[in-house]
Amino acid sequence: MTYAIDHIGLLVTNDVESGDGPLGVRRDVALVIDGGRVAAIEPAGVHADDGVDAGGRCVMPGFVDSHTHLVFAGDRSDEFVARMAGAPYRAGGITTTVDATRAASDDELTRLLDVRVAESRRNGITTTEIKSGYGLTVDHEARLLRVAGAATTETTFLGAHVVPAEYAGRPDDYVELVRTSMLDAVAGSCRWVDAFCEVGAFDADQCRAILTAASGRGLGTRLHANQLGHGPGVQLAVELGCASADHCTYLTDADIEALAGSSTVATFLPATDFSTRQPYPDARRVIDAGATVALATNCNPGSSYTSSMSFCIALAVRDMHMTIEEAVLAATVGGAAALRRPDLGRLSVGSRADAILLDAPSYTHLVYRPGMPLIARVWQA
Ligand code: NIG
């Protein structure tokens, strides 16, 4: 049974072979879908079993959000208010969410997650990576990954988010727990393992121990790197062959060189820098050096409580000096690269039919009309 999105004024394929410019755009076409995949791109006015008329508006690939922390309970708006009055963001705030999350039942966590995933879908996100990291015991981390696994295949174990209160003063004992029993308990229910490499969280040796253990079990790795200051995170991510180094807010020339010479994707999370009043990453230098970049929302209660990828794109263009095309690519194929999912982020024949219809004639309106609800319709496969 075929389904057509017909009379598309501007179709972003992200496939330079099948269209014009860096986004491979096509004009006045129909996107024909069969079995959840793009079957054809035809001139407008096709016959299909079912479908919708785009009315000359823009259709583009769904956003691939490669970094979120969506399984949590509780509220930390007071921290945000304090930051807006001048207080700095501190990794230690994570423990507030750990307490609330441990106290919540599975049903409550599932209900909260479902609401957040639905919110992401309405914002055009068709693939969502979800991390654990607010449980920090063997049982709680396993539970958060079970809850996350009902919503996505892109699940990430983040036992090394912060040292929990019960291990205060014994960080190496906690790292040992994470890389042995905790990893044993969660290995079957996560695709990725992540760690927070930062002052106040885990140092390079601790992160290396955990991510090496993860690779030894065949799990993919990623790293929170250089979020709050300069540090070893980015170069460690490259050394370990991580799929992505996330945040990349503080980068030296050597960090940029390392990223450019690697397959590690530099994932920028500009809504975090907005919400923590930090500088934005120097995306221009990273892109000009030749590194692959992604944009993600980092939706979490502490540093970035938004699942608006459109907002991230607007920040990336306005404040990180990315072109609109670079930002759109980073939020789609960039996120797919960060998740090592070449089947996502494109609308060319054979790709998964994850698409969004904009209430606008062009993707440029995502930046030109910031804050407006431009996502008119979302299709997943
Ligand atoms: O990516 N940096 C570590 N983790 C999250 C923040 C989590 C929190 O503050 O609750 C981040 O920004």
Q: What is the pLDDT of residues 91-119, one digit of tens each?
A: 889 999 999 999 999 999 999 999 999 99
Averaged pLDDT score across all residues of the chain:
97
Ligand 1 pocket test, pick from 83, 96, 161 with the greatest ligand atom count within 8 Å of Cβ, gives 161
pLDDT value at residue 91: 83
For 321-343, what is each residue's pLDDT tens digit? Answer: 999 999 999 999 999 999 999 99
CA of 365 to the centre of ligand 1 (A): 30
Beta-strand runs (E) in 15-122 = 25-34, 37-43, 50-53, 58-61, 63-65
- In order of their start, the domains of the chain are 2-62+345-379 (2.30.40.10), 63-338 (3.20.20.140)
CA of 157 to the centre of ligand 1 (A): 14
For 36-94, what is each residue's pLDDT tens digit? Answer: 999 999 999 999 999 999 999 999 999 999 999 999 999 999 999 999 999 999 888 99
pLDDT value at residue 195: 98
CA dist 247 and 366 (Å) reads 22
pLDDT value at residue 259: 98
Residue 260: pLDDT band (50, 70, 90) is very high
CA of 27 to the centre of ligand 1 (A): 41
CA dist 83 and 36 (Å) reads 44
CA of 214 to the centre of ligand 1 (A): 21
Mean pLDDT calculated for residue range 271-299: 98
Structure tokens at 238: 């490259």
| Ligand 1 nearest-atom number relative to CA 91 | 9
Residue 319: pLDDT band (50, 70, 90) is very high
Q: Which candidate, 283, 334, 339, 276, places its Cα nearest to that of 302?
A: 276
CA of 66 to the centre of ligand 1 (A): 14
Percent of the chain with pLDDT over 70: 100
| Ligand 1 nearest-atom number relative to CA 97 | 10
CA of 82 to the centre of ligand 1 (A): 16
Mean pLDDT calculated for residue range 110-139: 98
For 166-195, what is each residue's pLDDT tens digit? Answer: 999 999 999 999 999 999 999 999 999 999
pLDDT value at residue 227: 97
Ligand 1 pocket test, pick from 67, 83, 94 with the greatest ligand atom count within 8 Å of Cβ, gives 94
- The Cα-based distances of 325 to 56, 73, 205, 348 in angstroms read 20, 36, 38, 17
| Ligand 1 nearest-atom number relative to CA 158 | 4
Q: Is the pLDDT of residue 141 over 90?
A: yes
Those residues whose C-beta lies under 8 Å from the C-beta of residue 90, and which sit 6 or more positions away, are 200
